[in-house]
Structure 1
């Protein structure tokens, strides 16, 4: 990197964090002060494009260079399939592992659905009048999350993927090496979400085991694992759409296992059963570490 390119890399983080954190704080205030959930969700969606905008500001206006992002639809089919269905497989494995460790927390009674519907009907009424049960909810939402949602969610996810995987990760790996680059990249991505986590309980809520410190740490571990897998997909395909699909697929499926616990067990969200919990994230973390170590061995041979 030239001196100006190094300065541009620093500016990228200044822009990506500065713009996103302003939006996150403002969105949180709207939710907490006015209860405006629609504006909160809209601003969160907008904040996902801050990394992409930051890349354009740095590359186009500061350096007057191409972005270097590969948009061409290419790559072997197995990587596209891994991007589309891999998050669902890892989410399922994580949930199975979590309930294997804590079998008493597995709940098919529908208590989570009752709470989600405002507690106005009990589980039996939900089933009889609305046709909503734990099984039907999992089937309908699971099929949508696996088959359709990745194609929808990839568009907002693209805003982050251009910045984190397309722009940040190649530069971090060039300067720090494969493992250290992915570690730092995951931490950076995790910290980027911290204002939301601290202000409104993004991901884990506000009342959970070890709150708020444990959630901040676990989230960075999760982000390292997911960042690594998304980075590998971009490496293998050189197509930014592929990690965007995987990111969108993860966002679609990640919350689904929550329906299998009681509302009271939300206290343990930082452990699972969603793949953002420390125990439920272990399959994803193991895959990330194994693939990185294998890649490092291949580099040593070459």
Structure 2
């Protein structure tokens, strides 16, 4: 049955293709809001549009959950999941810092000058940047990427393949903002998958997201150069390979547990999975 509004037809299509619907909505919402800023709108208006666009993945996920008849409250509940073993908090807060501080060691071996005198100021700057990124500079994406898309991808593919696909989706989403710089999320994504699979906590994924940007911006104590970029790439790739090897490609996923998709509002039930 249809109505003049066409809403039932829309819901049927979303239920039939929830993941595709989500990706199209996430890209559409974000890119539409970013377009004016990308093409020249600056100042406060441009900043507002850029910030609003970053909420696209979460808004898209909420819409798909709602239109599919799932529980929006259930989908958002992992944002409040803070009672997890302390080692996961250490991982979320400390891994990015450890990775980017280790870049300094690599660069020192390569003969680059490491400005250790910057470390004190970097620590203070790290805190402010962390709060901003976690709240409105990237952390707000997590209910979409991890809280919605990853579960569905892992229900169809191996954890490693699902992670690679999400990395591509996540990376290309950044394309209007960063150009070829979109490859960054494709390297980070394995660290998020392991944390999400082990804890089911969106809050910790937000914390991890918030920690990556300030660690990159403030804890690499060497002036920018192609050597720095290469060292960062090498450290991230090496760490990702180690994590994949240690988990034998499972990245914390346990097929014996309750289906992970249930954590995102029981969408698999209404989508017929």
Do both proteins adopt the same fold according to a TM-score greater than 0.5, normalized to the shorter chain? yes
Are positions 1:150 and 2:130 aligned together?
yes
Alpha carbons of structure 1 residues 178 and 42: separation in structure 2 relative to 1, 3 Å: same
Structure 1 counterpart of 2:69: 64
2:205 to 243, 261, 285: 243
How does the TM-score come out when normalised to structure 2?
A: 0.76
Structure 2 counterpart of 1:253: 215
Are positions 1:29 and 2:10 aligned together?
no
Alpha carbons of structure 1 residues 300 and 74: separation in structure 2 relative to 1, 3 Å: closer
Q: Check whether the contact 2:122–2:219 (CA below 8 A) recurs between aligned residues.
A: no
Question: Distance in 1 between the 2:114 and 2:104 partners?
Answer: 12
Secondary structure of the structure 1 residue equivalent to 2:83: coil
Unaligned runs of 5+ in 2: 1-11, 257-273
Unaligned runs of 5+ in 1: 109-133, 199-214
Are positions 1:93 and 2:102 aligned together?
yes
Deviations for 1:70-113, whole angstroms, at most 9, x for unmatched residues?
23222111111111121111111123324433x24x375xxxxx
Are positions 1:16 and 2:8 aligned together?
no
Deviations for 1:7-28, whole angstroms, at most 9, x for unmatched residues?
1211111110011112222112
Structure 1 counterpart of 2:194: 232
Q: Check whether the contact 1:230–1:243 (CA below 8 A) recurs between aligned residues.
A: yes
Deviations for 1:237-276, whole angstroms, at most 9, x for unmatched residues?
21101010111111122122566316xx4xx2xxx53xxx
Secondary structure of the structure 2 residue equivalent to 1:280: helix
Are positions 1:187 and 2:168 aligned together?
yes
Query: Is the deviation greater in 281-290 or in 82-91?
Result: 281-290
2:87 to 70, 78, 101: 78
- Which aligned pairs between 1:214-233 and structure 2 lie closer than 5 A? 215-216=180-181, 219-220=182-183, 222-233=184-195
Deviation at 1:43, TM superposition (A): 2.4
How does the TM-score come out when normalised to structure 1?
A: 0.69
Q: Check whether the contact 1:17–1:192 (CA below 8 A) recurs between aligned residues.
A: yes
Alpha carbons of structure 1 residues 52 and 258: separation in structure 2 relative to 1, 3 Å: same
Secondary structure of the structure 2 residue equivalent to 1:20: helix
Structure 2 counterpart of 1:286: 238
Alpha carbons of structure 1 residues 279 and 141: separation in structure 2 relative to 1, 3 Å: closer
Q: Aligned Cα RMSD in Å?
A: 2.9
Structure 1 counterpart of 2:47: 41
Question: Distance in 2 between the 1:40 and 1:82 partners?
Answer: 34
Q: Check whether the contact 1:84–1:150 (CA below 8 A) recurs between aligned residues.
A: no
Alpha carbons of structure 1 residues 64 and 285: separation in structure 2 relative to 1, 3 Å: same
Question: Distance in 2 between the 1:242 and 1:257 partners?
Answer: 21
